[in-house]
Structure 1
Amino acid sequence: MGLLSLKMFGALFYRPAKAGREELEYLENAWVTAVIPIYNEDPVMFEQGMRSLLAQSRLPNEIHIIDDASANDSGIKAAKKLRREFEARGVKYTVSVQPENKGKREALALGFEAAPYSDIFLCVDSDTVLSRDTVRELLLPLADEKIMASTGMVLALNHDSNIFTRLQDLRYGNSFLFERAAYSRLKSVLCCCGALSAYRGSLVRKYLPDFLNQQFLGKPAVFGDDRRMTNYCLMEGQVVFQETAVGYTAVPEKLPHFLRQQVRWNKSFFRESLWAFRHQKKYRPAFWLTCMELALWLVFGTAMFYSMVILPIMKPAQFVNHIGDYLIFMVLMGYLRNVRYLDFPRRGMGFVKRFGMFLLAPLYGVIQLTLLTPLRFYALFTLHKGSWGTRQGGVEVSVAGDHENDVTEIFEEEDPYSDKKVTETLQLMRLEGVALRTRPRPAGGIPSQPQPIPGYDEEQHAGVPQQRVSWGAPAPAGQQQWQGGYEGHPDPYQQQHPQQGAYPYQDPSWQQGNGQGGW
């Protein structure tokens, strides 16, 4: 109940980040690179997602699309078809194909490596459709030099498909508006959603070799790239949730697809939580939140196993007497955890419809009890297995047909979520002739170094090498120097700390290595 109370209190007082003129000028001039891995895509959905990126009020400066050896070339064709439209808007645009399937993690790494000068990396899933001001809103927290990453608000694109997708939309709302919003008050969001997140470029470059070569139980880590990158960010600074940056992603419409996704997410939770327990600084909120999450799951899982398996066998009469109490508790908790879903202005969903969705909250509690809790135990006992599990047989969710027009409205209409004051400030700055996106760049428009953060000394800020990285093997655990902060960038939770040592990939004696995996 303590953690639940903390989440409720934090979510109640959550407010999204805002920015003034100086911060907005920095963000407008910052070089933003979008990295989008694709694999066995539905071409219609992928094209709609890319068109939503093209319609952004704040375009990324550069986009890298990496196809991870898909079984067909429909995704590549859709990507290439849009090249001229992006280039006409001044966006650098590249499309590349992996010779063999190596996994999303390596595809991301290729995109990161292609832009060693980038101030901010924007990570968007190939099946995510963005509202018109989403990129601009997602960048707002990064005007604060202590913020290493921000994650947006993600909802189900296909929520109207069936009762199953409606429940998932409700769960997404709870996950972001309740859990991430609460942890954002402590600036310690434990997982940036892979569908929509932004990371500081200097941090990505610093940890790229370890990210690419991560292993668990002697095997390459395939999934959990979002949680891993979030862990790096939490070691160096702070991570927040930005409610006004809204994206819509395709959720599983069939039970087998959903189960494979949940197994992957649960394995990622256990693996990265154990890693954070070992490596995160003990004085940081992220460490204690991780401990509480693990302890809560252990206590809750054990209690559920006893109540639903042991008690009916050993004491059936007592089980019958208490089943009503549990059902009341489940209904109450379901509604309390999802109450913020009611006041969120869900596109295409008025209050009456949102209220109808809200009434389904206890039903998800039944799924949690009967399906997802046993699934977590299965994930824990099969941590040594590392396959991705989805899209191996091709496209699993499509928005072709009647849903296409609904998707287009998301990015063609005015964004109802964004901060209108920010819009007004930017318009005023342009009317006053404030030079935006005009910092000196060499030929081709590519910056030679990252953009300095407001109020920051550029020489100190450039503490992370900007050269092309080579894929070094991860350092032995005893030699990895997990220190908060880096040169010129203080740890926001500690006034003084030892200077960050050289990372292993700077030493040429480290052997080359390649990550392997799947989707």
Structure 2
Amino acid sequence: MSIVVLLLATAWTAHHAVVAFEFDPKTTSRLTIVWIVLFLVFILQTFMYHLERPRKMTPRIARRLNELHVAIIVPAYNEDPGYLKAGLESFLRQTRLPSSVHVVDDGSKNTDYADVRAWWEPAAHAAGVKTTWQRVPNGGKRHAQAHAVRVSPDAEIYITCDSDSIFAPNAVEQVLIPFARPRVQSVAGLIVAANVRANWLVRITDLWFVVCQLVDRSGQSAVGAVMVNSGPLAAYRAAVVRDNLDS
């Protein structure tokens, strides 16, 4: 069935291209070239994402990745304590635990997260996860992340997230796999909405967002040129972050 659909799509594409190239000054818009170029880009992108092949995990690769110091950076500003705690709990349920977690309260005005911190620090210690908790003057998300970088000089991989990000149990394990290739400097996670069942608007938005990740971003990944990373889940080689920390 997939082959039949692709053959029909190919025939339609060829027909569309032939019709579009039949220029007639009296009836053809000046934007015809623009439409043709965009159409070809979209078709190319649709096929390119099929070229992306995730690297398979082997025992040798697993050993190498398990030796990496992986630090999760969590900036928080006026976040609901329940969401923040849910995210921190998800870090402790990982199939591959992070080496350290660094929470930065970016001068929140609504709460100081005292209850969350009182629970988190003993829980992280019991799980063998190093942690720091800083409260700094409000300077924005990037500045909060920079504070976390400065207190984690041993990190080899940084994973960034939002204060309401909740990781799937294998998120850390999976986001590390592409780093088995030395040329990979950053990895984008796959984001879905937690409240996807809230209403139709959220469902449609989430569908659009996921398709953009699985088509647009995967197509770019096939040629090693992803233009935008995922704020709620992204991973970077630590050296890249430190080299660009001032900017």
Coarse TM-score class (shorter-chain normalised) = 0.7 to 0.9
Q: CA deviation at 1:197?
A: 0.6
Distance between the aligned counterparts of 1:41 and 1:75, measured in 2?
Answer: 9
**Alignment-derived partner of residue 50 in structure 2:** 12
Identity of aligned residues (%): 31
From 104, 110, 117, the counterpart of 1:79: 117
Distance between the aligned counterparts of 2:61 and 2:213, measured in 1?
Answer: 25
From 66, 89, 96, the counterpart of 1:58: 96
**Alignment-derived partner of residue 37 in structure 1:** 75
Whether the 8 Å CA contact 1:40–1:75 is kept in 2: the answer is no
Q: CA deviation at 1:93?
A: 1.0
CA-based RMSD: 1.3
Whether the 8 Å CA contact 1:122–1:199 is kept in 2: the answer is yes
Unaligned runs of 5+ in 2: 1-38
From 183, 192, 216, the counterpart of 1:155: 192
**Alignment-derived partner of residue 348 in structure 1:** none
**Alignment-derived partner of residue 216 in structure 1:** none
For residue 94 of structure 2, give the secondary structure of its aligned residue in structure 1: coil
Distance between the aligned counterparts of 1:37 and 1:76, measured in 2?
Answer: 15
From 142, 148, 162, the counterpart of 1:125: 162
**Alignment-derived partner of residue 209 in structure 2:** 172
Distance between the aligned counterparts of 2:201 and 2:112, measured in 1?
Answer: 28
Distance between the aligned counterparts of 1:111 and 1:203, measured in 2?
Answer: 15
Q: Spell out the pairing of 1:337-416 with structure 2 (5 A cutoff).
A: none
Whether the 8 Å CA contact 1:116–1:205 is kept in 2: the answer is no
For residue 208 of structure 1, give the secondary structure of its aligned residue in structure 2: coil
The size of the alignment, in residue pairs, is: 209
Whether the 8 Å CA contact 1:151–1:193 is kept in 2: the answer is yes
**Alignment-derived partner of residue 2 in structure 1:** 40
Give the aligned residue type for 1:95: W
Distance between the aligned counterparts of 1:205 and 1:13, measured in 2?
Answer: 32
For residue 36 of structure 1, give the secondary structure of its aligned residue in structure 2: strand
For residue 185 of structure 2, give the secondary structure of its aligned residue in structure 1: strand
Distance between the aligned counterparts of 1:192 and 1:73, measured in 2?
Answer: 29
Q: Spell out the pairing of 1:215-254 with structure 2 (5 A cutoff).
A: none
From 108, 131, 134, the counterpart of 2:171: 134
Distance between the aligned counterparts of 1:127 and 1:141, measured in 2?
Answer: 25
Distance between the aligned counterparts of 2:166 and 2:55, measured in 1?
Answer: 22
For residue 209 of structure 1, give the secondary structure of its aligned residue in structure 2: coil
For residue 82 of structure 1, give the secondary structure of its aligned residue in structure 2: helix
**Alignment-derived partner of residue 235 in structure 2:** 198
Distance between the aligned counterparts of 1:104 and 1:80, measured in 2?
Answer: 23
Whether the 8 Å CA contact 1:123–1:196 is kept in 2: the answer is yes
**Alignment-derived partner of residue 285 in structure 1:** none
Distance between the aligned counterparts of 1:142 and 1:77, measured in 2?
Answer: 36
From 4, 25, 45, the counterpart of 2:63: 25
Q: CA deviation at 1:146?
A: 0.5
For residues 476-500 of structure 1, what are the alpha-carbon distances to aligned partners after superposition, in whole Å with 9 as ceiling and x for unaligned?
A: xxxxxxxxxxxxxxxxxxxxxxxxx
For residues 68-108 of structure 1, what are the alpha-carbon distances to aligned partners after superposition, in whole Å with 9 as ceiling and x for unaligned?
A: 0111225353133211111111111111101x211111000
Distance between the aligned counterparts of 1:189 and 1:66, measured in 2?
Answer: 28
Distance between the aligned counterparts of 1:198 and 1:117, measured in 2?
Answer: 16
Unaligned runs of 5+ in 1: 211-519
Q: CA deviation at 1:22?
A: 2.2
Distance between the aligned counterparts of 1:44 and 1:31, measured in 2?
Answer: 28
Distance between the aligned counterparts of 1:181 and 1:132, measured in 2?
Answer: 22
Whether the 8 Å CA contact 1:56–1:132 is kept in 2: the answer is yes
From 164, 183, 186, the counterpart of 2:223: 186
